[in-house]
Structures are given as C-alpha cells and as structure tokens.
Structure 1
Amino acid sequence: MNQTAKIRNMIMLITPLLIIVMIIISVSYGTKEIGIETIWQALLHFDEGNVDHQIIRTSRIPRAIAVLFVGAFLAVAGAIMQGITRNYLASPSLMGVNDGSAFMITLALVMAPGLGNYEMMFLSIVGSALGAGLVFGFGAAIKNGLSPVRLAIIGTVIGTFLSSVASAVAMYFQVSQTVAAWYNTKIHIIDVDMLLLSVPFGLVGVLIALFCAQAITVASLGEDIAVGLGQKTKLIRYLSMFSVVLLTGTAVALVGKIAFVGLVIPHIVRFLVGVDYRSIIPCSLLVGAFFLSLCDLVSRFINFPFETPIGVVTAFIGIPFFLYLIRSRGGDRHA
C-alpha cells in the first residue's frame, strides 16, 4: 500500500470520529451549556415542557447536522469544478454559483413570498445553474477567458453584479432584512423541514459525483487525453456540472452563502491523497464536513456570547489561501 493510500484510509477512518466529537461539542455548548445526560434524554425521552430538550431538538441538533452536510456538499462541488475545468481556482463561491442561487432566492422572496420549501429549493438550484452558465459563458466568449485568474475575475464580477442587483431589489421592495440572512448565512435559524427536504437533493449530487469520479480523474488530465481514452467528455461535463448545481443549490437554500469551503478543502485533500478523484471526492466530503463544523464552533465562541458570522471565519482562512494559490500557481490551468 503506497503512502497516499495510507493517508486516504486514515482520513476515512479518523475524520468520522472527529465529526462525532464535533457534533457532541456543538450540541452541548452554546450560550447555555447542556450536559450529555440531558442530550441523551432529549433524544430518547423528549419532554416538550423542558426548555433544554426544546433547544436540543429544534435548534442545536438541526444546526450541527446542517453544517456537516453543507460543508460536505460545498467541498465536493469545489472538487468537481476543479477537476472538470482543470482550474485550480474553481469553486462555487468564486464561479458565481453561490451568487446565482442567492439571487434567485431574492427574486422569489420579492415576487412570490409565499413559496414553499420545494419551490425555494428548485429556484436555488436554477440560480446555481444560472450563475455557472453566465460565468463560463462569458469565459468562453473572451480570449483566454477560461484561464484560472481570468475566470476567477469574471466569476467575481458576475457574482458581485448578481449580489448588487439582489440587494437593490431587496431594498426597493423592503425585504433587506430577510435577504440579508441568505447572504450572511442563517445557520442559527435552521428550518428543520428544509433540512429534511434538502439533504436528499444534495445526496443525489454526491452520488452523481462518486459515479463520475473516475471520469473526472481522466478529464483532469486534459481534453485530448480524455478523448483519446474514449471518454464522452461532454456527457461527463454535463453530469458533473449538474452535480455541482445540485450540491450548491442545496447548500444555499439551506443556510445561505458560505464562501471558500469549495476552494480550500479540495486542494488540501488533493495534496494529501493524490490526483485520483475516487479518493478526492469522498475525502473532500468528510474533511469539508469537519472543516465547516469547526468553523461553526469558532464563529460561536470567538466573541462569546455573541456569534460571529461563519463566513467571516471561512474568509479568514480562504482569502490568504486564494492569494497563495495565485502567487504560487500563476497562470497554470491544471487543477
């Protein structure tokens, strides 16, 4: 067994244990500390009249679960994008995918405020596709527009444009406070019904990603090599991007925009386990879940008893990492 295989097996073994520890800490600690025995009682013998049981069942457990899934989904989406585009800066937050989802949700809140969870989920997924389509469409239309740095610039411009339009619409129709929750994340107010609805959509995206993993590995070697090996490159690209749209749309519909998870985690995992996406995707899923859970805990306790937006924590890590990638990789297009 080679070194990367050993590291992959260690990640697959140790990370789930760390995730369980993070869940226990997340549910136990907050503005009010709750003991393990009370948590156990709330799970097995729920008492509606017990305030601690209500906090555990309606707030802390949904939050812990949502953070895990969102971290996993965004990390997998970033891994797919980097592999299929051979662009080391590709991620849902930099390529307009997150902003497209939030933009569509803003329009829905203004034009049809009574929409249910199914409709909001659908619109979030459509918005993801819109954002990605605009960025890659403009990238393809501009000379060298698909190079990493130029595509990142295009993604930033498109994302800023969509965010600005959404903010203007929200201010005009006086729904700024509601929309702000989607742009600044709403992890502290998880809708349990939306959680139950969104997870299956995200899991479908994960299954598609795992199905395409070997093909993404081949695609990451280059178009000519993939075609030479008989790969149906367009089909793989469409399936992969559909997976990204599902994963990102699900994450944004559930908690709002969170940046940099899909950029940072795939790079760390690729450094540890190598370039085979059959290892990168499942490891990114686990490491992404752990990473965002850790960021959530930091955001809750960095300025205790007040919460810091989780996006601030991910940005503190993601922005230096982003600048490091640009400095170290330059114009190299390979993932």
Structure 2
Amino acid sequence: MNWLDSRVFYEHGNCRQYDYILNHYSDALDLKCEAKKKPAELKKLDNWFQKELPGILSERLPDKYFSHDEIVQCMRWKLVRGKFRPGLKELVQMNTPRVVLNETKKAYRQLTKKDDLQSAIQALSNLKGVGPAFASAILAAMAPEKIPFMADECLMAISDVGSIDYTVKEYLQFVEQMVAVCERLNKQAGSDSWNPHRVEMALWAHYVLADASSPILNELDELAKVSPLSQEKVNGNGTTVFEEEDDSRSSVPGAEENGTAEASSASSVDDESSSDDIHAVKDLNGETSNDSGVKRDEVVVECDSGEPETKRVRLEEDVPPPVA
C-alpha cells in the first residue's frame, strides 16, 4: 500500500500507525507554520486550542460555555490553521457576550444531555459568522470525546468525499466516519484511548506530512507489517517473535475529558440574536453554510515505493472569499 496517500491511511491504517502519526502532530504543525507569515502565532493558538481551552471549559461544568473573547480566539485559530477567509472574524466579533454565553451553553446541553448533535449545531448557527465547520471547532473543544473538528484536510482524506459543501449533513456523516475509525483502532489496541478528535488530529497531521513528502511517513510501511494485536517477545536464542493477544476484549470509543469538574452558574438571558444575522448559514436540509466550498483537485504524484502512481488530493478554492 502507498502510505503517502492519506486516503489509504484513513481506510487501512492500524492503531500503531495512527499512534505514530499522532506523535508527530507537532512536526506537521511545524510544516504548516513554515508557510505562514507569523509562524509563532499558529503555534501559540494551536497550543491554546488543543491544550489550554478544554481545561478552561471543564472548570465551568456542569454547563460548559464560551466567553466572547474565547469564541473570537477560536475563530482566529481556525483561520490561521486552515484556509484564511476575510471577514469571518469580524462577523464573530459582532456577537454580544451574553448571546455567545447563551448559545454555546445551549449547544453543550443539546450535545451532552440530549445527545443531539444536529440541534447543538443549530444553536451555534444562531451566532453571526458560525457555520457547521466553525460549530464543529467549538463543540470539539467542549466535547473532544464525541466531536471531531471539520478540517478540510481530514475531509480530503476520505475517499468518498468529492467536494466540500460545509453542510450539516456532510458534517454528521464525517462524525460517523471518525467514530468508525475509533472503533477500529480501539478494537485493535484493546483499549478506549482513541476518540473522534484524536483521530481527526492524526488524519490532519498525515495529510500535512504527505503534502510535504515528509520522510516521517517512511516508517509507516514497517508499522504495517506488524499485527496491531501482537506483542514483541524475545525467545531463548535472542530472536524476536510475536504472540497474538486475546482478541475477545471489547472496547468503547471515547476518552476522559480534560480538566476538573467544578460547579459554575451563569445567568439566563434573552436570546439577542435575530433573523437578519449577517452570515450565510442556512437550514439543516443540506444547504451550504458561510464557509466557502472547496473542490478536490486530483494531482498525480509519483512515488518511490514501487507502487503504481497514486492520486494525491489538494485543496482548491471554489468560491472567492467574502469581502471584509
């Protein structure tokens, strides 16, 4: 198999390969930073989103919510890490602090108490500048054990995605696909260490590393040769053998939430968002959101592995960015 192809990695990668790639997430981030005018900004924002923010939100349990500054910072992270789209940050800034608190708290309740992801996205879509993609970032920070971020790179790693429309329907399908990978990896590992957000991070890292033809990926071929459910043991004559583990263990996808649970109360306020909010989020019937679509641009890339020529996926803007 050609492990330089992110679609191959998504469909066939085992738990050891995913662990290996996730451990090189910082290397992928460094490659992203090299292409930025302010590389230090991306590193700082990503550390805040991945490590600091989940703990801050957990301290607000039983109802997690975003402050106005946090949701603006989250949009900054999304734009710097992915495709920059002028005007979105300004739209998010137009939301009042009380509306941000109300809608993010409502979304968290819909997700955790009613297990209704679609309603959670709808609540966040009441905010200016928030479509399914940005809503997924907010929810991933609040519940990484359930929710992956809808990154372009991850969507392009899924072979049956032709173009990105940024619809709720597309995102719900993406979540199902990430959960399926979790179940596969956790079964192989005999644990519950994988959650949708960790899978999404590994896919993002692989896509970025593959796009840069990083030699880090060369190790994947060796990791593919060892059964994920085997243990290395050295026998009496000094050679390494592998013994299969009991495959009867079951595992449940999900992971522990970050931070400590401390009770916190917040005042209930009227919903100040109005129907004339200036964003392009539409209804839940599969229509496009304010995030501009991108299409696949399949480019043939030659590989040194002896494999047939394979198609790599690149991003191409389909719709010009909105005017600030």
Shorter-chain TM-score bucket reads 0.3 to 0.5
TM-score if structure 2 supplies the norm length?
Answer: 0.34
Q: Which has the higher contact order (CA 8 A, sep 6+)?
A: 1
Task: Say which one has the larger Rg.
Answer: 2
More strand, by proportion = 2
More helix, by proportion = 1
TM-score if structure 1 supplies the norm length?
Answer: 0.33
